[in-house]
Structure formats: C-alpha cells, structure tokens
C-alpha cells in the first residue's frame, strides 16, 4: 500500500490559512471535495465527530485527522502545513504544523487502519518532518512524501 496512490499533487497545500481546529478541517476537506466531487460539509462533519472521540493531534507538531464516509468510493489523503502552527488539542498541548487528512469508505476498516499506521511511521522521522516544513513547492512536497513512502 502506497500513500501516493491516495495522494495526488493537487491534494497538497503549502500554507494553511486556518486559525483553529474546525477551520483546519474545513480547509483540508476543501483540498479534496471539489476534485473528487464529494460533499464538503459531510466530510467536515465526519471529522468533527471523530475528533469528539479523541484528538488527531498526535504530538510533535503532527495531526492526522481521519474519518470514514458512507458514500465515498476510494480512500483519499491530503496534506497541508502551517508555518506558525495551529491549536489542535494535541496530546502534547503544542500547536500543529503538519496535517495529513485521511478519508476512507465506511467499510474499509483494514485499509483505513493500515494507512493511519503508515502515516504515523512516516512522521516518526524528524528529518522527514523538517523536510516537509522546508519544502518550497508542491512538487517538492510530493517528492518528499513519495520518497518517504517508498522507504516505509
């Protein structure tokens, strides 16, 4: 399983404009909704409901908001970052800079969990996180993610 099979270059953003958690979720969903022709509000609602169960902010400036949607046909991954950091109720209480969004079909439990686990493994590498923060273009972001994807 490859992250880049679910992540297209047009699902990347170099700079989130959001100021809080709900705005982050909305902005991340905007990266996908028009491109995959899916209801933006439904995506955001699923993510907010999932956040009520526990934060997707896993610490070290990282969050992996995720959810499953009934009528979604494929699994999708999007990425964005915030240079200044955004409050996200992270486990370590620190602002989040790096966000991977994962949305999957409702019945894809195995794929969903495997993708979450792989993203978490990729993020353990401090050099990977630094490279994501330093990337200047979406091409560079995609290359960094693809290379790490191959290595994990």
Say what the pTM is.
Answer: 0.93
pLDDT given for residue 81 in this prediction: 96
The DSSP string of the chain is --GGGT--GGGEES-----SHHHHHHHHHHHHHHHHT--HHHHHHHHHHHHHHS-SEEETTEE--EEEETT--S-EEEEEEEEEEE----TTSPPEEEEEEEEEETT-HHHHHHHHHHHHHHHT-HHHHHHHHH--SHHHHHHHHHHHHHH-
Using the predicted structure, report yes or no on whether residue 76 has a pLDDT greater than 80: yes
- Superfamily covering domain 3-151: Mannitol-specific EII; Chain A (3.40.930.10)
pLDDT band at 152 (very low <50, low <70, confident <90, very high): confident
φ and ψ at residue 19, rounded to 5 degrees: -115, -20
- More confident position, 110 or 31: 31
Provide the mean pLDDT of the chain: 93
In contact, 89 and 81? CB cutoff 8 Å:
no
For the chain, what are the domain ranges? 3-151
- Active-site residues, by number, are 66
pLDDT given for residue 109 in this prediction: 76
Using the predicted structure, report yes or no on whether residue 137 has a pLDDT greater than 90: yes
CA distance linking residue 128 with residue 46, whole number of Å:
29
Give the torsion through C-alpha atoms of 28, 34, 39, 43, to 10 deg. -20
Percent of the chain having pLDDT more than 70?
Answer: 100
pLDDT given for residue 57 in this prediction: 94
Using the predicted structure, report yes or no on whether residue 53 has a pLDDT greater than 90: yes
pLDDT given for residue 111 in this prediction: 83
**Average pLDDT in the 92-112 region?**
91
Give the position of tokens 């526990």: 54
Angle, vertex CA 108, rays to CA 107 and CA 112, nearest 5: 140
Using the predicted structure, report yes or no on whether residue 126 has a pLDDT greater than 80: yes
């Amino acid at each position: 399983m490859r992250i880049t099979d679910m992540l297209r270059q047009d699902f990347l953003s170099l700079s989130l404009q959001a100021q809080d958690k709900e705005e982050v979720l909305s902005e991340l969903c905007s990266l996908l909704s028009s491109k995959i022709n899916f209801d933006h509000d439904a995506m955001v609602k699923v993510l907010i409901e999932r956040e009520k169960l526990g934060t997707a902010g896993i610490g070290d400036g990282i969050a992996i908001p995720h959810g499953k949607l009934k009528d979604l046909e494929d699994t999708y991954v999007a990425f964005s970052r915030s240079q200044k950091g955004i409050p996200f109720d992270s486990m370590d209480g620190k602002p989040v800079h790096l966000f991977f969004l994962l949305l999957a079909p409702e019945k894809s439990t195995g794929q969903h969990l495997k993708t979450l686990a792989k993203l978490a493994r990729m993020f353990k590498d401090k050099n990977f996180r630094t490279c994501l923060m330093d990337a200047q273009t979406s091409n560079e972001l995609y290359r960094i993610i693809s290379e790490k994807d191959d290595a994990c």
